[in-house]
């Protein structure tokens, strides 16, 4: 992946929501050297309570080992890396990638995936926590107790009650010992909490039939966590749904929008969500309902209880792999991959106002349509946009860049 040369001539101007408001602009991206070793991939970004941005990635080691490492953006550069965990037998996949979450009080949580059997998709979730800002980490804890050699992954983490971390994941225990189509052979969406001392709370079902391998996402709203994922109806409609944690219970799954995408296979293209302190939420996703590929974004003003009509943001040939950042004025920055030439792709960013007004789409970087290019990610550090992506190759490399934001409140 390389940065679009046109960005060196002028800043990207993205129209803000509402008439007369100052335009939101993204300045010229400046690539940052990362501490990720050659062969690294699956970068992810998260922002801590103090506004600092953290980069995590999977790095290969000797003798077929892998490590989950992270660094912090400080004074315009990445810090020296630290290691969350390392070992053999990891499940490393372009679509099912680890994550890092910064919790209140200097605590941190992270997850990765560990093989649990000989099957291609037999792997467990491991969640580790740190109480000292990532200098040391406890052992990886498995949040599920079914004990089956089946798929457990596509995890989203959030700060839960007390010193616990909450987790949702796709859970394939229903497939253990069953063939596709058998009664009970369903992919579950499950949740549990893990205490700071490693104690695992009760497992709770969130949805009894979810899409098999689309990423889940979570945002913290003033009313609690909001989980976003791709559902799977008995008629193979695979639209984006949300569940809310209300009064200690999960709400009934509800669609963000009734796209009506009927597909008898997983598109491996999950949603993204971001929320603000004002109960505002933005959800972005990919769909190919009615035979038309689209990237959509929808807004909620009540912490995800209801959503307005979606707004289309793509350029006509999207591949999906979305991310979203909500802006203080109620709009959002949406990123996605757009097909460009034979096997090529572009990372694009577009501002969408909360009232549906669209800024012009801008090409941020040239990329590849290959699976190995993974999922680009966005984060925000004050008045800077931070981006991370994988450049496929032999070896692959992790790249990051920052761009100044202007026009935001």
Q: How many residues does the chain have?
A: 409
Contacts of 39 (CB under 8 A, 6+ apart): 59, 60, 395, 396
Alpha carbons within 13 A on the beta-carbon side of 63: 3
Mean pLDDT of the chain: 91
- CA distance linking residue 301 with residue 278, whole number of Å: 8
What is the C-alpha to C-alpha distance for residues 130 and 105, in angstroms, rounded to an integer? 11
Digit-coded pLDDT (tens) for 365-379: 788 999 999 999 999
Whether omega before 228 lies within 30 degrees of 0, making that bond cis, reads no
Q: Give 34-69 pLDDT, tens digit per residue.
A: 999 999 999 999 999 999 999 999 999 999 999 999
Q: What is the DSSP letter of 375?
A: -
pLDDT of residue 14: 37
Pair type for strands 99-102 and 362-368? unpaired
pLDDT digits (tens, 9 = 90+) for 173-224: 999 888 777 877 899 999 999 999 999 999 999 999 999 999 999 999 999 9
Name the pairing type of β-strands 24-26 and 397-406: antiparallel
pLDDT tier for residue 408 given thresholds of 50, 70 and 90: low
List of E strands, 61-130: 66-74, 77-78, 82-87, 99-102, 108-115, 123-130
Indicate the SS3 state at residue 147.
coil
> Of 116, 154, 95, 101, which is closest to residue 320 (Cα–Cα)?
95
Mean pLDDT over residues 284-311, rounded?
98
pLDDT tens, 326-351? 988 899 999 999 999 888 998 888 88
List pLDDT tens digits, range 247-289: 899 999 999 999 999 999 999 999 999 999 999 999 999 999 9
Q: 3-class DSSP state for residue 17?
A: coil
DSSP state of 136: S
pLDDT above 60 for 18: no
Check residue 90 and give its pLDDT: 98
pLDDT higher at 360 or 231: 231
Task: Report the alpha-carbon distance of residue 251 to residue 205 in Å, rounded.
Answer: 11
Q: Which two tokens stand for residue 384?
A: 């800077």
CA distance 377 to 390: 10
Alpha-carbon span 36 to 79, nearest angstrom = 11
Question: Which range, of 131-140, 203-212, 392-401, averages the lowest pLDDT?
Answer: 392-401
**Structural domains of the chain, with CATH:** 2-406 (2.120.10.10)
**How confident is the model over 62-94, as pLDDT tens digits?**
999 999 999 999 999 999 999 999 999 999 999
Select the more confidently predicted residue: 307 or 14.
307
The pLDDT value given to residue 16: 34
288 in the Ramachandran plot: left (φ > 0), alpha (ψ -120 to 50) or beta? alpha
Among residues 185, 143, 50, 29, the alpha carbon closest in space to that of 105 is found at: 50
Q: Is the pLDDT of residue 11 over 60?
A: no
Unique residue bearing structure tokens 């007004």: 357
State residue 22's pLDDT score: 52
Residue 358, C-beta contacts closer than 8 angstroms, at least 6 positions apart: 15, 311, 313, 350, 351, 352
CB 388 within 8 A of CB 398: yes
Long-range contacts of 159-164 (CB under 8 A, 24+ apart): 159/101, 159/103, 159/104, 159/220, 160/193, 160/225, 161/193, 162/195, 163/105, 163/107, 163/195, 163/196, 164/193, 164/194, 164/195, 164/196, 164/201
């Amino acid at each position: 992946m390389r940065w679009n040369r046109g960005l060196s001539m002028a800043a990207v101007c993205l129209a803000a929501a509402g008439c007369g408001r100052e335009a939101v602009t993204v300045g010229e991206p400046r690539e940052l050297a990362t501490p990720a070793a050659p062969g690294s991939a699956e970068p992810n970004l998260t922002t801590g309570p103090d506004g600092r941005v953290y980069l995590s990635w999977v790095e290969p080691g000797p003798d077929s080992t892998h490590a989950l490492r992270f660094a912090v953006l400080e004074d315009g550069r990445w810090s020296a890396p630290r290691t969350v965990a390392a070992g053999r037998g990891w499940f490393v996949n372009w679509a099912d990638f680890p994550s890092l979450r910064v919790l209140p009080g200097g605590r941190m949580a992270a997850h990765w995936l560990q093989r649990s059997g000989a099957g291609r998709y037999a792997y467990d979730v491991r969640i580790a926590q740190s109480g000292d800002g990532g200098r040391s980490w406890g052992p990886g804890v498995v949040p599920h107790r079914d004990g089956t050699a089946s798929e457990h992954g596509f995890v989203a983490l959030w700060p839960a009650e007390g010193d616990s971390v909450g987790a949702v994941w796709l859970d394939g225990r229903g497939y253990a010992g069953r063939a596709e189509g058998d009664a009970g052979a369903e992919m579950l969406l499950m949740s549990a909490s893990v205490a700071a001392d490693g104690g695992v709370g009760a497992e709770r079902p969130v949805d009894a039939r979810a899409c098999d391998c689309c990423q889940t996402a979570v945002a913290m709203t003033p009313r609690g966590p909001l989980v976003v994922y791709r559902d799977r109806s008995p008629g193979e409609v695979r639209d984006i749904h949300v569940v809310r944690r209300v009064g200690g219970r999960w709400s009934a799954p509800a669609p963000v929008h009734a796209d009506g995408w009927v597909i008898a296979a997983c598109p491996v293209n999950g949603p993204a969500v971001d929320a603000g302190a004002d109960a505002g939420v933005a959800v972005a996703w990919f769909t190919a309902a009615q035979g038309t590929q689209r990237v959509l974004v929808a807004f909620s003003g009540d912490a995800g209880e209801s959503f307005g009509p979606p707004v289309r943001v793509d350029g006509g040939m999207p591949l999906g792999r979305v991310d979203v950042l909500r802006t203080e004025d109620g709009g959002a920055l949406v990123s996605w991959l757009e097909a460009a030439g034979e096997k090529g792709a572009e990372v694009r960013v577009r501002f969408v106002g909360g009232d549906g007004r669209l800024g012009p789409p801008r090409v941020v970087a040239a990329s590849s349509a290959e699976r190995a290019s993974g999922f680009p990610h966005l984060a925000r550090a004050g008045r800077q946009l931070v981006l991370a992506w994988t450049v496929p190759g032999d070896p692959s490399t992790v790249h990051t860049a920052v761009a100044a934001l202007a026009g935001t409140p």
